[in-house]
Amino acid sequence: MDNEKNNRIFVQATKTKQMKNMKEIYLAGGCFWGAEHFLKQINGVTHTEVGYANGNVPDPTYQQVYTDTTGYAETVHVEYDPEVISLKFLLRLYFKAIDPISLNKQGEDIGTRYRTGIYFTDLQDIPTIKEVYQEVADIYNAPLTVEFCPLKNFYKAEEYHQDYLDKNPTGYCHLNPELFKMARKAKMK
């Protein structure tokens, strides 16, 4: 019995240590089904969950967010291991999966809930976000429409939205399937 207890304590301590080394960022990239599926393919991303970020009503439902009256963006909470992937590399991949000059529209999905955004929780991430943002801005002849601001709030979406494309492989997605292959193969130099 003591051995079992010691194993549980060791496992919990290991998980706690691993969690302390993880970083997080919140990325809105249009419909969160495809954005999550893309982001979770990236080596170094350890956990994703979809939800609603930076809105103005408490504990929103999908039906409320869908009305575009709540201020929320469909967003993916991304946890990643900075020893495997840098924030800079992660953001560069994110920008490959969105149209950064399209306002409130990604693919055929239209509405403020489909806006793009980078929402941070760590002030130390700001210089990296600004650097990548500027790299992308320099490519386009139009201003970027990607929000870049602190995370104000985030509510996890309903369970049927989590890992949607894993549960429904033929489900709707605004992203080209080639992007998923590219994400799986992407390696930091």
In the block, residue with structure tokens 């429409």: 145
Q: How far apart are CA 120 and CA 147, in angstroms?
A: 11
Q: Which residues pair with 148 in a beta bridge?
A: 118
Is 31 labeled as catalytic in the residue annotation?
yes
Would you state the structure tokens that stand for residue 46, as one six-digit string?
A: 């350890």
Of 25, 27, 28, 31, the catalytic one is 31
In sequence order, which residues have a C-beta less than 8 Å from that of residue 84 and are 6 or more positions away? 43, 44, 188
Nearest to 158 by CA among 10, 1, 32: 32
Residues classed as catalytic: 31
